[in-house]
Structure 1
Amino acid sequence: MRLAVFDVDGTLVDSRASIHRAAVEGAKAINIDPPTYDEVRSIVGLSLFEALQAMRPELDPETVAAYTREFQNAFLTFHADPDFTEALYAGAHETLVRLKNDNWLIGMATGNSRRGVTRIVDRHGWKDIFDVTFCADDGPSKPHPHMLQCNLSALGVGTHQAVMIGDATHDIRMARTAQVHAIGVSWGFHTVEELQDAGAHEIVHDFKALERSLEAFVPVLA
C-alpha cells in the first residue's frame, strides 16, 4: 500500500497568475497597497486568512477578514468568466492516471477551500482519481500536519507508506512534521533553495522525474 498526497496550487494547477491577480484586486477593494508577486508567492499554500495575515501582519483581524472576502470575490469573478483558464502543469493529469492504474492511493492536502476543491476536481474530472481530499476548511493550516494526518487516517496508511508532493515550503514542513517522505517540485511558487532549506528529501523538475521517484519509493518501517 502506497499513498501519494498532492498539493494543488503550484503543484498540479498553474494558478500563479490568478492568485496574484486576486490578491491585487482584493487589496484595491479595501484600499491597501497591492502586493507584489514575490510577496504573494511566499504565502501560497497556507489557508487564505492565515496567508493574508502573514503577508500583511500590520493589518487588524477585521481588515484581514475583509481582505479575505475580497480576494475570494475576485477569484469567483475570474472563474465566472467562460474564457478563464487555469492550466494544469504539463504531465500532471497523466501522472495521476498512471499512479491510479498502478494501484497507488491518491490524496490531497491543499490550502484551498472545500468549494475550491470541488471546483477543481469537477473541472478536471478527478472524482475517480482522488481517494480523499482535505483542505483549509477541515482544520489547521499548513505547515501544521493535520491535513496530511487526515489523509493517512482516512485511508489507514502508515507514515512510512506515504509521500507528500508539493511546491511550497509549507508542504515540506508539514510532511517532515508528520514524518512523511517529502518531495518538492521546482515548477511552482517556491524556489529549489527554499524547498531544500525546508527539508525536502528530494526535489524533482518535471512529472516524468516525479514518476521515476515514486516508482522507486519503497515503504520501509524505521
Structure 2
Amino acid sequence: MSGPLRLVIFDVDGTLVDSQGDIVASMTTAFEDAGLPVPTRSKILSIVGLSLDVAMSRLAPDGDTDRMVRAYKDSYAALRVSKGAASSPLYPGARAALEQIAALDYVLLGVATGKSKRGLDGLIEAHGLDGMFVTRQVADFHPSKPNPAMIETALAETGVDAQHAVMIGDTSYDMDMAANARVTGIGVTWGYHPRTRLSAAHHIIDSFDALLTTLNDIWREHP
C-alpha cells in the first residue's frame, strides 16, 4: 500500500500483555499496607489503564494515595524482577501481530500506557521488544487517560496526522482517549473491560488475527 505514513498506537496492560495477576497482587499489597479492605478483583481490573495515582484515588478516596502508590510500585517492581517476562505474558498472537505490522514500511508503532517509564522499559526489555516502538508515552509525563495528551504527543513526535493514526486498547479509557484525540479507536475484547464498555470504539476485534485486516479496512477508508 502506498500513501501517507501511518501510526498504530497500542495500550499495554490488557492489550499486549496479561498483567492482571501482578496488578491484583500489588494492589492487594498496597491496601493491606494501608490497613484498608482490599477491593474485589473485578473492581481492581476496572481501573486498569488509568494513571496509578488516579486509579488509587478512585479505589480508596480516603486513603493516603502517595503511600499506596509507593507500596504498589515497590510490589510490582519486585514481582517483575523475580518473574521476568512471566510477570506480564504477551497475549497469544501479540508478538506475531507486532512483527507483521512493524514490517510495513509505511507504518510506525507506538505505545500509550498508564504504566510508568520504569515499568514500560522493564516490560519491553523482558520481552525483547527493544526498537519496536518509535514513540512511548507513559503516565510519568502526561495526565491520565482519557485525556488525549499521550496520543497528541505521539502524533507530534512522529509527524503523523490524526486521521492516519489508530489507537488499540482494551478499556473505555483507551477508546475515549482516541475519540478525544480524533483518531480511530480499535477495541479488543480479551482485556479487562467488557465489550459493552467499548462504546467509543470505531471497531472491535476478538483476536490479534483480525488486527491487520481491520487496519487495512481503516486505511482504505482513509487513504
TM-score between the two structures when normalised by the length of structure 2 = 0.93
Indicate the residue corresponding to 2:182 in structure 1. Answer: 179
1:41 to 45, 65, 76: 45
Indicate the residue corresponding to 2:127 in structure 1. Answer: 124
| 2:48 partner SS | coil
| Distance across 1 between alignment mates of 2:215 and 2:222 | 14
Report whether the alignment pairs 1:149 with 2:166.
Answer: no
| Distance across 1 between alignment mates of 2:161 and 2:121 | 27
| Distance across 2 between alignment mates of 1:89 and 1:172 | 20
| Distance across 2 between alignment mates of 1:86 and 1:161 | 30
Question: What is the alpha-carbon root mean square deviation over aligned residues?
Answer: 1.3
Contact 2:188/2:207 (CA < 8 Å) preserved in 1?
yes
Unaligned runs of 5+ in 2: none
| 2:204 partner SS | strand
| Distance across 2 between alignment mates of 1:177 and 1:195 | 14
Q: How many residue pairs align between the two structures?
A: 216
1:108 to 88, 104, 111: 111
- What is the CA-CA distance between 1:82 and the residue it aligns to? 4.3
Contact 2:189/2:205 (CA < 8 Å) preserved in 1?
yes
Indicate the residue corresponding to 1:25 in structure 2. Answer: 29
TM-score between the two structures when normalised by the length of structure 1 = 0.93
Report whether the alignment pairs 1:195 with 2:178.
Answer: no
Unaligned runs of 5+ in 1: none
| Distance across 2 between alignment mates of 1:87 and 1:205 | 18
**Larger mean Cα displacement after TM superposition, 79-88 or 91-100:** 79-88
| 1:81 partner SS | helix
Q: Percent identity, aligned pairs only? A: 36
Indicate the residue corresponding to 2:206 in structure 1. Answer: 205
Indicate the residue corresponding to 2:138 in structure 1. Answer: 135
| Distance across 1 between alignment mates of 2:185 and 2:212 | 14
Report whether the alignment pairs 1:52 with 2:56.
Answer: yes
- What is the CA-CA distance between 1:217 and the residue it aligns to? 2.0
- What is the CA-CA distance between 1:80 and the residue it aligns to? 2.5
- What is the CA-CA distance between 1:85 and the residue it aligns to? 3.0
- What is the CA-CA distance between 1:140 and the residue it aligns to? 0.8
